[in-house]
Structure 1
Amino acid sequence: MELLFLSLLLLTILFLAFSVHFFTLKYKRINGAHLPPGRLGWPVIGESVEFFSMGRKGSPEKFITDRMNKYSTEIFKTSLLGEYFIAFCGPIGNKFLFSNENKLVASWWPRSVEKIFPSSLQTSTIEESKKLRKLLPGFLKPEALQQYLGIMDLTTRRHLETNWTNKEVVMVYPLVKSYTFSLACRLFISIEDPDHVATFAKYFHVLATGIISMAINFPGTPFNSGIKAAEIIREALLKIIKKRKKDLLENMISPTQDILSHMLTMTNESGQFMKEMDIADKILGLLIGGHDTTSSVITSTMKYLAELPKVYDEVLKEQREIAASKEPGELLNWEDIKKMKYSWNVACEVMRLVPPLQGAFREALIDFTYAGFSIPKGWKIYWSGSSTHKNPKYFPDPEQFDPSRFEGTGPAPYTYVPFGGGPRMCPGKEYARLEILVFMHHVVNMFKWEKIIPDEKMIFNPIPEPAKGLPVRLKPNH
């Protein structure tokens, strides 16, 4: 007992010493500055507990809106993840951040991400961002995605026929995650073997949990498990990369086969190829980003289509007209996607109400002022769609599901931001749009469904997901 007491006492002293050190260093940057209103909460912890707990309760926007109502509709200060933060609110705040990317602010990642992706952080986040965005457009712009539309169509049909057909009840969220991950593996690194994909998926789940956890690296913690999972995935990817390099040298495959081949054949201004470990990290990041958010949107869409029969009927009408124009076995093409206007409005309204990402982090590169307040260099910045997506000023009757909001010119600029904006707008936006619409086309043509748990909540961890996996009862659509 005495040893336990001494250990606890030592940990308490260390925590207090670290807290004093942390706040002393931070205060040097804010003493005398005219900071935005708000509160910083507890030492080190700040307001992190409330920030994450509101997400798990299903109302992450409450953290933002409560402080907007209390302090300012434009800007407030808080402390999250052991860092001082300034939250920018509203369309003017969104426009300011998006238009000053890499000038006044730059992307910032929590320490947990830095530990899991160490090789990609040997250079600045600005440089890494530029590198990745130079690599992606060749594969993720609309013109390039047209060649992958047939693969998406076939993969979707195969998934629904194998995992949904002749089933009375299915768990939507895990099945959709399996589908989007399989498709990402197929399109990004040309892996199709189900066993290989399933092994990858198991470790990716552990990795994703580790990324959003506290950066406590002790055996048994989610963060520690996430680091180990990342190492296992990285080793597997390195084996794939080495084999792909050999196949490319022997002209066995095309350099434009997928994103991996493109990364292996691309050189920088000095004629140097990317390092294998950097490629592994970037592929790892793309596989995470290429399935988590779209899984959430597709699942939320199925939830609303089950709850809103009139909306479901309109989507079905549009998709049946497209299906009726096709020959038996004919795959979807780009013209078919352009006809899915109402279906995409539905998906947009889903992302307004349940954005796949609540917001994103930035860091102040220099001291600057905004809305009359000082933003110190090094402080972290948070922007959130919650400040506009459910604001009646920009979306009347915001809790009402209304796809017509996106007809014509759509919402006012910078009020609808599920994909961010400016130089850092999500490069996978068109990829996500295709994946969502192809899935909607086939699932409504094949099935009608009803929720088994009528009042099932959506929780945000931090990506929104149904608390019980969204079990539904299927009925074949004839």
Structure 2
Amino acid sequence: MAVWGFVAAAAAAAVVVFAALARWVQEWVQEWGLGRKRRSRLPPGSMGWPFIGNMWPFLRAFKSNDPDSFVNSFIKRFGRTGIYKSFMFGSPTIIIITPEGCKQVLMDDEHFVTGWPKATMELIGKKSFIGISQDEHKRLRRLTAAPINGHEALNSYLQFIDSTVESTLEKWATMGDIEFLTELRRLTFRIIMKIFLSKANDNVVESLEKVYSDLNHGMRAMAINLPGFSYHRALKARKKLVEVLQTVLDERRVTGRRDAPEAEKDMMDGLMEAKDEKGRKLTDEEIIDILVMYLNAGHESSGHITMWATVFLQEHPEVFEKAQAEQEEIRRSKPPMQKGLTLKEIRKMEYLSKIIDETLRVVNISFVAFRKATCDVFMNGYIIPKGWRVQLWYRSVHMDPDVYVDPKKFNPSRWDGSPPKAGTFLPFGGGSRLCPGNDLAKLEISVFLHHFILGYKLTRLNPQCPVKYLPHPRPSDNCMARITKV
């Protein structure tokens, strides 16, 4: 027995030594080119294991019921420095978790460019806003502002969004038990496809929805292009999505829609007609990548946030009552002959806007953003080496008790008074690369909540079911529930 005990102890010691050696090798390989002086200025942290780095503890945390445990492990081991070295998504990376640090990076376009993981870049598109240079970004931003977030564009989308939400809620109230999140994602996809491609039939929309779901699941995955992996399925989905959009583009170039009434034109028409100051139009690749990018903002994010906002409203009766009073006042103030909502009425929904902002903060749909340093940058006495990736952990900012009192509590009243300090509220990012679809997403959410609050009730079947956090936070049962008309 003594011999076996000695063997077991020796084996355990060997494992510990091997683990320490493997981590030391990983750190040496990733840092050796910096030189001793620059290495000494790196922030504290861990490079993890060879090849996989810190991805395993990251995935383990986000597949548990405590996603914050990943960043908290850095704080526990290395102190509350707010900046840590790591190895994520195949690259040496600096993690930043403070409002000040996030603000500095987001506002500094000269020293930080986009640095999204390979999987995201390939799936969203190299000509989307996340993959292009700062000059190209400014050009595309100017060209797409009016067709997507302009006042006239939002006003033209509003009537369709409003009528579609009303009819869909009526339908859900007759269906019995439904996967509320799944149905919401179908609703928001139908809306965004109508905005993108007004003439797309229901069969095309339904097939594209399935394709986009596969694409979205590969966004935060490791870039392993082998059968059975999320990234492999997502690449195939991307190819199918591009083929469909390219076919529509080709058909429109042949048939032409230049003379179509403005009321019948959709987002694709707007992008095809847009010209910059030099008369240059968008290429097909630019149009397709921009549309794929907006699918994420106008469909995926808005569907999830709408679900969580509805759930929070049902869980907090005092919040629901206050929101209901505001929406009833808006309904009472409508002119008798007016059909549907107007943008002016949407902007009067001040308390509802606070509910949406609080939902965005608590849920953290976009929990991290990615940049890359173009030169050595110093922050808090530490170096961010040239070429290293930078991860801005919005989730850590939103859940920091020093920034938000009792951060896990859903409390829309925390938004009363002055607007949040720069860098403390980042649901759509910040700086020049602020998410361009934020106005459209909030419009969709506001319209849905207006009609839901005034006429419906949500009863969840499994209110205590666990939450999955990748690729977005959601109940594991996709919020099985019953919608009741009241």
Q: Please indicate, yes or no, whether the TM-score normalized by the shorter chain is above 0.5.
A: yes
Find out whether 1:155 has 2:164 as its counterpart: yes
Deviation sequence 1:225-273 (CA, Å, 0-9, x none): 2111111111110111112223436623549923211221223455343
Match of 1:455 among 464, 467, 470: 464
Deviation at 1:91, TM superposition (A): 1.6
Does the Cα contact within 8 Å between 1:44 and 1:83 map onto a contact in 2? no
Distance in 1 (CA, whole Å) between partners of 2:188 and 2:317 is: 26
Deviation at 1:396, TM superposition (A): 1.3
Does the Cα contact within 8 Å between 2:119 and 2:220 map onto a contact in 1? yes
- CA pair 124-422 structure 1, distance change in 2 beyond 3 A: closer
Distance in 1 (CA, whole Å) between partners of 2:276 and 2:330 is: 44
Aligned length: 459
Does the Cα contact within 8 Å between 2:465 and 2:476 map onto a contact in 1? yes
Match of 1:169 among 177, 195, 203: 177
Deviation at 1:169, TM superposition (A): 2.1
Deviation at 1:447, TM superposition (A): 0.9
Look up the match of 2:305. Answer: 297
Quote the RMSD (CA, aligned, Å).
Answer: 2.7
Distance in 2 (CA, whole Å) between partners of 1:402 and 1:249 is: 48
Find out whether 1:107 has 2:140 as its counterpart: no
Find out whether 1:417 has 2:426 as its counterpart: yes
Distance in 2 (CA, whole Å) between partners of 1:131 and 1:31 is: 41
Deviation at 1:329, TM superposition (A): 6.8
Distance in 1 (CA, whole Å) between partners of 2:338 and 2:275 is: 41
Distance in 1 (CA, whole Å) between partners of 2:87 and 2:466 is: 28
* Deviating more after overlay: 232-241 vs 255-264: 255-264
Look up the match of 1:242. Answer: 250
Match of 2:203 among 195, 207, 213: 195
Look up the match of 2:134. Answer: 126
Match of 2:268 among 260, 263, 270: 260
Look up the match of 2:98. Answer: 90
Look up the match of 2:10. Answer: none
Partner SS, residue 475 of structure 1 = strand
Find out whether 1:376 has 2:376 as its counterpart: no
Partner SS, residue 251 of structure 1 = coil
Give the letter for the 1:313 counterpart: E
Find out whether 1:53 has 2:73 as its counterpart: no
Give the letter for the 1:389 counterpart: H
Look up the match of 1:7. Answer: none
Match of 1:287 among 274, 291, 295: 295
* Deviating more after overlay: 136-145 vs 445-454: 136-145
Distance in 2 (CA, whole Å) between partners of 1:343 and 1:281 is: 32
Matches within 5 A, 1:129-148: 129-141=137-149, 143-144=151-152, 145-148=154-157
- CA pair 258-269 structure 1, distance change in 2 beyond 3 A: same
Look up the match of 1:5. Answer: none
Look up the match of 2:29. Answer: 24
Q: Report runs of 4+ in structure 1 exceeding 6 Å deviation.
A: 19-23
- CA pair 150-373 structure 1, distance change in 2 beyond 3 A: same
Distance in 1 (CA, whole Å) between partners of 2:296 and 2:136 is: 17
Does the Cα contact within 8 Å between 2:173 and 2:484 map onto a contact in 1? no
Partner SS, residue 415 of structure 1 = coil
Does the Cα contact within 8 Å between 2:144 and 2:274 map onto a contact in 1? no
- CA pair 250-414 structure 1, distance change in 2 beyond 3 A: closer
Look up the match of 2:190. Answer: 182
Distance in 2 (CA, whole Å) between partners of 1:346 and 1:40 is: 39
Give the letter for the 2:417 counterpart: G
Q: Which runs of 5+ in 1 are unaligned?
A: 1-16
Match of 2:46 among 39, 61, 76: 39
Matches within 5 A, 1:203-214: 203-214=211-222
Deviation at 1:46, TM superposition (A): 0.8
Partner SS, residue 256 of structure 2 = helix
TM-score, length of structure 2 as denominator length: 0.87
Distance in 2 (CA, whole Å) between partners of 1:451 and 1:251 is: 49
Deviation at 1:124, TM superposition (A): 4.4
Does the Cα contact within 8 Å between 2:216 and 2:471 map onto a contact in 1? no
Deviation at 1:26, TM superposition (A): 5.0
Distance in 2 (CA, whole Å) between partners of 1:277 and 1:333 is: 34
Identity %, equivalent residues: 28
Does the Cα contact within 8 Å between 2:26 and 2:50 map onto a contact in 1? no
Match of 1:437 among 434, 446, 465: 446
Q: Which runs of 5+ in 2 are unaligned?
A: 1-21
TM-score, length of structure 1 as denominator length: 0.89
Look up the match of 1:349. Answer: 358
- CA pair 74-123 structure 1, distance change in 2 beyond 3 A: closer
Deviation at 1:431, TM superposition (A): 1.1
* Deviating more after overlay: 394-403 vs 260-269: 260-269
Distance in 1 (CA, whole Å) between partners of 2:50 and 2:162 is: 52
Look up the match of 1:63. Answer: 70
